[in-house]
A and B are shown apart, each in its own frame.
Chain A
Amino acid sequence: MKLIDALWKDAPLATRNEITPKLGFLLTVLLAIVWLIPFLWMGVATLRPASDGINLMAELMPSLKPTLDNVRDAWEIGDFPRYTLNTTIICTGILLVQFVTITLAGFAFARLDFAGKSLIFYLFLMQLMLVPVLLIVPNLKLVAQLGLYDTLTGVMMPFFASAFGTFLMRQAFEAIPTELEDAALIDGASLFQRIRHIYIPLSMPSFSAFAIISVTSHWNDFLWPLMVINSPDKRPLTVGLSVFTATAEGTQAWGTIAAGTLMVIAPLLVTFLIFQKRFISSFVTSGIK
């Protein structure tokens, strides 16, 4: 009870003795523990030796004889280094092209005046509403026609333009005082020089927010790469993990599945724990990816 009182010491005096908020808080703490259990099991099961047998697999108390055998097995059976490389290529490729497209389009919306501006604005807005995942069937056909079936480029291509990123950059660019650009104009800076030396350096927080959203969502993409990729050596992590899980499930190798899952999510979790604040604020701005 003391501990809870300590947490409430900055609450308004009148509310400090209310019981309902504290009950809500206790319930939340309880649920937060429940929320972490799958992760806890993943860690414990990864380190559990196979000799413990299937009946102890669910035990959340860590084994006294921890082993890295499961990690080694998953690494060897699952070809995770290759999957990680593919996912990294996909995420980086998408992000680099997106940086170019959203910077240019964001600048046009923020600073230029042109015929049909509101019409084109609505065209962009439409992409936010038409969830790309739903268009897998026509897009698969197009990717095949472009000769990009079973290529990483084919996986990346539908995401090269981003309405969300464009709007984010437009907002960032609009906040930059025009005086800065005027000064550069007088010095004879071209359009691209102004974007490169004034707008981009001053909008780094927005770029990093966008990068976080873009990379996490494409790191996690599953159905689309599953449809586009056929060769085992081009699978991204998610597709690789699903194939791996299906195989290991047959042999009841749950420790190996836990280790494989851990490998897939570890990079994101570590990055999140380091840049927690930045992640949270980026996800708030995301809303719709």
Chain B
Amino acid sequence: MQKQAIFQSRLLPFALVAPQLAIVLIFFYWPALQAVIQSFLLQDAFGLSTSFVWFDNYVELFGEPAYFEAIVRTFFFSFAIAVSSLSLALLLAVMADRPMRGGTLYRTLLIWPYAVAPPVVGVLWIFMLHPSLGVLSRYLRDMGVDWNPLLNGNQAATLVILAAAWKQVSYNFLFFLAGLQAIPRSVMEAAAIDGARPMRRFWTVTFPLLSPTIFFLLVINIVYAFFDTFGIIDTMTRGGPGTSTVTLVYKVYTEGLLGGNLGSSAAQSVILMVLVIVLTAIQFRFVERKVTY
């Protein structure tokens, strides 16, 4: 069997790949390169002179307690978002996997939130939980909770995690459902005959068999929580109150675009870039090996 496509002209394949390559080079590699260069430069306050400062931007960054806090906060957010949205999605998927009346409708409805853009998610949740406008805030206050995410940093963080996790549930649900449906029915039946009750069947058979899916989603969710929460944070809290919801990505934005400290902002971007590369590498390594079970 001939696996290679045959082209009349030797240039045609290159011409066909060129648009894709151009987009990647211009919109991904060029800015990335710019960021790396920028991270070694220092501009004066008026943008009149630029000097090459080697690693000064990085050194300064790591000497800054706020940056360290942002790292810890980002990791905490990622962890909280990933764990809460994964567990909720898994619960929903297990429920939806059973044969039931209206199952298709239920599944379709659960997938919808994924189509909502992150800033819209932010607005949506703010409407529900805004201290003076929110519907849910009233109930919370009636229950005696002093709910004010605009002033209370922990509550603001909770709100961001909640909204970000909610949005990701659909995506995770979809993968979990597919994963569950890939488990042969006879394996579950064998477990039932082998005397495993439903909960035990879940933890000893279903969960281990889903582990490749869980691992894949864990990486995807962490990457999501790192980067795609920007829209949610920007519409909901703008990083506040204080810096209680400033993540690494949001810090790049505030310091670079709002604060005008391009050198430091670029250095932060480069660090983020390295993080993504590491995460992706881990994922490829494991996904290729299909996580042995």
Are the chains A and B members of one assembly? no
Interface residues of B (CB under 8 A from A): none
Interface residues of A (CB under 8 A from B): none
